[in-house]
């Protein structure tokens, strides 16, 4: 019989609260502990998850708790590395929020620490669990679209996210926060990990005007072209400067053109519901609550980590996928800084 897994959540902000609520409502999983430097945030996340967890301000104390088998690391992007190394030392399995880390050395150190501790490491690239992207993958794998020709993928946030929602946006960027999702989805779609296709060159152009003028020292947007060995060309648009009046806090559009078919995804204004007194298009897909339980695909990826642990199986996404995306975001930054394309090595094997 599968055992019950004791879960800890490190970082109890917007997304850590979703991890806590998801574990608290997942059969076979016990939410044991939550850690946040800010005790009010830990308490609020605990209350949202039913008040069943023990709250810590120091995550090292959470990691010393023998009832915790595994942790979600849901700290600001630049802080994943230290917590992941501490979790590996404590022998805890870990689900790390995207991006795995914000430098290649840190990403490699996390993978090495997990391997030597013999713990499971998953990176939460949850768009693989998004129903429209899942259906796109099935259609592509079934040959419905033919050989991929062009992908145009836009994932943007309103300026509220870097200026108000995140206190740490200047220590990250829209490339780490949003492009990392797009890069993983594209690499997964075309099976880049198996060598079925390979990104060969990245050219990014970034601008830093609006956000720095508002005191947030991070780029406004990246426009990126990625060329693949097969001839596929991917265009990514990742901006953190949509107007606050935009009908939803994020905008996601993905258009995939194959030799024999096309696939169009609109993940933001999906039209399932429309309200005219507050956020016009509320979330019906990512993390909606249905009968008190988080029901969207963002919780499906978190539940997948727990069910893989319970079954003793490898999760579908691991540290190597996180390293590949980290290397691609670094190439975007390098390209934007030097104003020229960057030639890529093998993302998984170098």
Ligand X SMILES: NC(=O)c1ccc[n+]([C@@H]2O[C@H](COP(=O)([O-])OP(=O)(O)OC[C@H]3O[C@@H](n4cnc5c(N)ncnc54)[C@H](O)[C@@H]3O)[C@@H](O)[C@H]2O)c1
- Interface pick for ligand X out of 5, 9, 12, 145 (rule CB under 6 A): 12
**Beta carbon of residue 60, minimum distance to ligand X (angstroms, whole number):** 9
Min dist CB 117 to ligand X, Å, is 20
Q: What is the nearest approach in angstroms of ligand X to the Cβ of residue 347?
A: 20
- From candidates 129, 177, 188, 240, binder to ligand X by CB under 6 A: 177
* Binding status of residue 144 toward ligand X by CB under 6 A: no
Question: Closer to ligand X at the Cβ: 303 or 344?
Answer: 303
Tell me the C-alpha distance between 294 and 300, whole Å.
9
- Which residue from 29, 74, 120, 136 is in contact with ligand X, where contact means CB under 6 A? 74
Residue 33 interacts with ligand X (CB under 6 A): yes or no:
no
Instruction: Report the residue number, 37 or 105, with the smaller CB distance to ligand X.
Output: 37
**Only segment of 37-45, 62-70, 215-223, 319-327 that touches ligand X (CB under 6 A):** 37-45
Phi, psi of 162, rounded to the nearest 5 degrees: -75, -25
Taking phi first (over 0 means left), then psi (-120 to 50 degrees means alpha), and beta for anything else, what does residue 56 get?
beta
Alpha-carbon gap, residue 122 to 308, rounded angstroms: 10
- What's the helix, strand, coil split of the chain in %, to 5? 40, 25, 35
Least distance between ligand X and beta carbon 348 (Å): 22
Closest approach of Cβ 33 to ligand X, in Å? 12
Q: Are 322 and 77 in contact (CB under 8 A)?
A: no
Q: Which is nearer to ligand X, 113 or 148 (CB)?
A: 113
Q: What's the CA gap between 220 and 333, in Å, rounded? A: 13
Q: Is 8 near ligand X (CB under 6 A)?
A: no
Q: Which of residues 202-261 bind ligand X (CB under 6 A)?
A: none
Rounded distance between C-alpha atoms, residue 317 and residue 305, angstroms: 9
Give whichever of 120 and 178 is closer to ligand X, judged by the CB atom. 178
CB 31 within 8 A of CB 47: no
The neighbour count for residue 298, using CB atoms within 10 Å, is: 22
Run of H or E including 29: strand 29-35
Q: Which residue number has the CB closest to ligand X?
A: 13
Q: Could you give the count of Cα atoms lying within 13 Å of 29 in the half-sphere of its Cβ?
A: 28
Q: Which stretch binds ligand X (CB under 6 A): 6-14, 47-55, 150-158, 203-211?
A: 6-14
- Near ligand X in 107-126, by CB under 6 A: 124, 126
**Residue 41 near ligand X by CB under 6 A:** yes
Write each residue from 76 to 105 as x if it is in contact with ligand X (CB under 6 A), else as -, in one continuous string: xx-x-----------------xx-------
| Residue 71 bridge partners (DSSP) | 8, 94
| 97: β partners | 124
Residue 155 CB, nearest approach to ligand X (Å): 10
Q: Is 184 in the site for ligand X (CB under 6 A)?
A: no
Q: Which stretches of the chain are DSSP H helices?
A: 14-24, 39-48, 59-63, 80-89, 104-117, 131-141, 160, 174, 180-189, 210-213, 297-311, 319-338
Under the criterion CB under 6 A, does residue 61 sit at the interface with ligand X? no
Q: Alpha carbon of 294 to those of 20, 193, 211, 235, 298: distances in Å?
A: 10, 31, 32, 32, 9
With CB under 6 A as the contact rule, the residue among 24, 33, 53, 75 that binds ligand X is 75
Q: Does 16 bind ligand X (CB under 6 A)?
A: yes
Contacting positions for ligand X (CB under 6 A): 11-16, 35-38, 41, 59, 74-77, 79, 97-98, 124, 126, 166-167, 177
């Amino acid at each position: 019989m599968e055992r019950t897994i004791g879960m800890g959540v490190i970082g109890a902000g917007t997304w850590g609260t979703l991890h806590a609520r998801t574990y608290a409502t997942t059969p076979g999983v016990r939410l044991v502990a939550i850690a946040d430097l800010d005790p009010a945030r830990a308490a609020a996340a605990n209350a949202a998850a039913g008040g069943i967890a023990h709250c810590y301000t120091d995550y090292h104390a959470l990691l010393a708790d023998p009832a915790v088998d595994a942790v979600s690391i849901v700290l600001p992007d630049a802080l994943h590395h230290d917590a992941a190394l501490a979790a590996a030392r404590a022998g805890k399995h870990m689900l790390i929020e995207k991006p795995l880390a914000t430098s290649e050395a840190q990403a490699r150190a996390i993978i090495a620490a997990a391997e030597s501790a013999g713990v499971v490491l998953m990176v939460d690239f949850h768009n693989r669990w998004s129903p429209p992207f899942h259906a796109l993958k099935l259609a592509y794998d079934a040959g419905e679209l033919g050989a991929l020709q062009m992908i145009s993928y836009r994932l943007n946030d309103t300026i509220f996210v870097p200026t108000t929602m995140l206190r740490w946006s200047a220590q990250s960027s829209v490339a780490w926060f949003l492009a990392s999702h797009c890069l993983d989805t594209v690499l997964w779609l075309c099976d880049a990990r198996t060598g079925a296709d390979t990104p060969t060159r990245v050219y990014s152009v970034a601008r830093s005007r609006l956000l720095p003028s508002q005191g947030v020292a991070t780029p406004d947007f990246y426009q990126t072209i990625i060329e693949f060995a097969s001839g596929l060309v991917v265009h990514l648009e990742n901006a953190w400067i949509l107007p606050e009046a935009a009908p939803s806090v994020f905008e996601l559009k993905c258009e995939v053109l194959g030799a024999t078919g096309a696939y169009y995804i609109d993940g933001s204004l999906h039209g399932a519901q429309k309200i005219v007194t507050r956020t016009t298009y509320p979330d019906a897909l990512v993390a909606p609550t249905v009968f008190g339980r988080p029901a969207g695909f963002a919780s499906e990826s978190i539940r997948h980590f727990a069910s893989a642990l319970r079954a003793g199986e490898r999760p579908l996404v691991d540290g190597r996928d996180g390293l590949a995306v980290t290397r691609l975001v670094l190439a975007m930054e390098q390209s934007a800084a030097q104003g020229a394309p960057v030639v890529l090595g093998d993302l998984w094997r170098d």
